Amino acid sequence: MMRGRAILAAAALSLAGLAACGPQTVAQAERSCMDDARLAIHPRTEVALGIGSGGRSAVGISTSLSSDYLTGRDPADVFDRCVLRRSGELPTRPLAAQPGWRG
């Protein structure tokens, strides 16, 4: 009997966790999909330099490359599809009219 309750409790927690992962609002999706659209234009590279105690130095390089960039997809199309996928709705305005967009 205890095992059945433990299984039911675990299932309830799992369902509660899935409910929290529901769709985003359109505004949230528009903000988060801007990165996908930017990555469709060009890769993003970050370089980090640091000096630690004792004079030790560190260098780090990170590059983000999307398949949308490699296939030459239109950033506006990438943006629209991303917003639709995340929110279930189309964007309220096109990519070119989004605040902060510099394509």
User: Domain extents for the chain?
Assistant: 24-97
Q: Exposed, middle or buried by CB within 10 Å (0-12, 13-18, 19+), for 82?
A: buried
> What are 51-98's pLDDT values in tens digits?
888 888 889 999 999 999 999 999 999 999 999 999 999 999 999 999
Read off the pLDDT of residues 21-59 as tens digits, 9 standing for 90 and up. Answer: 678 999 999 999 999 999 999 999 999 989 888 888 889
The strand pairing partners of 60, in sequence order, are 48
pTM of the model: 0.68
